[in-house]
């Protein structure tokens, strides 16, 4: 398609975007064009496509990225007079909260944390991982690189993005789960990694992701769950219970308060939902 080829050339020559970013734009728009066929240059086709992505349970971030890709694409076509109408003006920019994965309720988190059997190596390890993720809001990459010496009596030492070190407080429940795993099962393996596989290797993020999916399914959670869901649930629940945004920023290891501020959008949307559902005259 000539329009797509011209758009990609524009991104490369005038915008100077990286090959990875250009590939993402090309992939998003190619999928849209292949599904929309001859009716691609309409607002209705765009909305149908985005609705399709949501129905297929694509991550909110994927849907938002496709939305943005299409907005930039149609803005370019209008500016270059390849289309008479600027369809990008008819599409609202995705709200910031849409970029955040789904958040579990406190009841769902409690069910998830109770799912592993604690009398086996794998179950005790998984229980400690789940408890720690929710108690600390760690990124899964941070959890996988924890050492035995990373855990203190009331906190964990974490090296986050940019190798920035931070101390994250951890509650007694999560520390008790870690102690149970360490005292009964971890001592049979060598090495410094805190969480290991049955072969003694450091656990990786894919294994953690699969583990969480398995337990979520076992307790009947139908939401799209990942390690990051626990991180976002941690932050949202703190905010719900009155924690200051600056405190949450420090615990999550965000470089700027603007990143943490996204959680106020989730909080506001939950307030609106509660009002609509429960107020007698909504």
Q: Which residue has the tokens 């909504």?
A: 282
265 classed as catalytic = no
Rg (CA), the chain: 23
State the catalytic residue, choosing from 25, 181, 215, 263. 263
Q: Which residue has the tokens 């769902």?
A: 108
Q: How many Cα atoms within 13 Å fall on the side-chain side of residue 92? A: 4
254 classed as catalytic = yes
139 classed as catalytic = yes
State the catalytic residue, choosing from 161, 164, 210, 214. 161
How many angstroms separate the CA atoms of 187 and 190, rounded?
A: 8
State the catalytic residue, choosing from 180, 186, 231, 232. 231
Length of the chain, in residues: 282
205 classed as catalytic = no
State the catalytic residue, choosing from 139, 180, 186, 262. 139
State the catalytic residue, choosing from 186, 232, 254, 262. 254
The CA angle 40-42-43, to the nearest 5 degrees, is 125
CB atoms within 10 A of CB 158: 20
State the catalytic residue, choosing from 186, 228, 232, 262. 228
10 classed as catalytic = no
Q: Which SS3 state, helix, strand or coil, does residue 235 take?
A: helix
Q: Which residues are catalytic?
A: 139, 161, 228, 231, 254, 263
């Amino acid at each position: 398609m000539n329009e797509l080829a011209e758009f990609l050339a524009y991104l490369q020559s005038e915008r100077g975007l990286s090959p990875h970013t250009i590939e993402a734009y090309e992939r998003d728009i190619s999928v849209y064009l292949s599904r929309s066929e001859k009716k691609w240059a309409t607002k209705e086709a765009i909305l149908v496509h985005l609705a399709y992505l949501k129905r297929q349970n694509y991550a909110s971030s994927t849907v938002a990225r496709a939305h943005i890709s299409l907005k930039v694409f149609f803005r370019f076509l209008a500016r270059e007079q390849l289309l008479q109408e600027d369809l990008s003006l008819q599409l609202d920019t995705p709200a910031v909260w849409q970029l955040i994965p789904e958040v579990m309720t406190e009841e769902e988190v409690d069910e998830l944390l109770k799912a592993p059997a604690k009398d086996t190596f794998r179950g005790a390890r998984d229980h400690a991982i789940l408890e720690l993720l929710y108690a600390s809001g760690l990124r899964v990459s941070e959890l996988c690189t924890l050492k035995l010496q990373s855990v203190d009596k009331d906190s964990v030492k974490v090296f986050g993005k940019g190798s920035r070190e931070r101390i994250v407080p951890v509650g007694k429940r999560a520390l008790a789960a870690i102690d149970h795993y360490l005292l009964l099962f971890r001592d049979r393996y060598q090495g410094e990694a805190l969480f290991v596989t049955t072969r003694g290797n450091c656990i990786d993020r894919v294994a953690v992701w699969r583990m969480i999916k398995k337990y979520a399914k076992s307790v009947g959670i139908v939401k799209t769950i990942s390690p990051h869901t626990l991180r976002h649930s941690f932050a949202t629940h703190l905010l719900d219970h009155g924690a200051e945004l600056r405190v949450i920023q420090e615990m999550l290891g965000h470089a700027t308060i603007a990143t943490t501020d996204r959680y106020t959008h989730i909080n506001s949307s939950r307030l609106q939902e509660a009002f609509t559902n429960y107020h007698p005259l909504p």
